[in-house]
Amino acid sequence: MEVSLKGKVALVTGASRGIGLAIAKTFAESGASVMMVSRKIDESAMEGIDGEVAIRPANVGDPTAAADVVRETIEKFGRLDILVNNAATNPYYGPTMGVDESRYDKTFQINLKAPLQWTQAAYEASFKKSPGVIINIASVGGLRTDGGGLGIYNLTKAALIHFTRQLASEIGPNRVIGIAPGLVKTDFAGFLVENFGDKIAATVPLKRLGEPEDIANLATFLASDAASWITGETYVIDGGAGLGTSGAS
């Protein structure tokens, strides 16, 4: 089996660091041309990437940005085959009942509404005529309840998981797939990693936290023709943390 993205063009949001950057790098190494999108991104994000890549600063939550960036991607690379909705935010940490309207709206805007808007833009410009692959980066938090302050964030990820299933049923033969990572060592999850990382890793059957490359490798397989009969599912990748056991000692 060959996992290759040769000749494909991908657009990755939230690509300046962490999981998004790892996905962009791995896609490029697998042969894809990649448009890297993030609110704050510069040429340094492309350092060490072996392949054809471009960067486009954009506010993912801006409803006008999606159509513009999709159009520019097609103009530059000639086509669009893969969209990765990776950008996310978590401006509120605390009990669900304590969230204010502003932070509630921002979380849903970036984590749920933006994936819809970017998918609509890609569909209208390309995928309606030439079916592509849409990968939504969700979270294991979207599958579990949480008493530690991530309730609002998890609500958006639960909705994104259902959005993935719903869209897959509506726009085939486009493939729509979700990835639900556990705790990954990124700046985005820095507080949890720094304060609870070792404790959490000890409870995971594989005895470690995730690396951005773990998620990128799965995304590359799912985006490739090797996964051509997969759609509508969200794949948990958490080192076995959700199994309810710490594994053998």
Our measurement of the distance from residue 212's CA atom to the centroid of its chain's CA atoms, rounded to an integer in Å, reads: 11
Tell me phi and psi for residue 10, to 5 degrees. Answer: -125, 145
Dihedral of alpha carbons 226, 141, 14, 216, sign: negative
Q: Of the residues 92, 104, 123, 153, which is catalytic?
A: 153
Task: Write the DSSP string, 197-243.
Answer: HHHHHHHSTTSS-B-HHHHHHHHHHHHSGGGTT--S-EEEESTTGGG
Does the annotation count 153 as an active-site position? Answer: yes
Among candidate residues 64, 18, 67, 73, the one with its CA nearest the CA of residue 45: 18
The helix/strand/coil state of 194 is: helix
Among candidate residues 163, 73, 176, the one with its CA nearest the CA of residue 133: 176
Just list the catalytic residues. Answer: 153
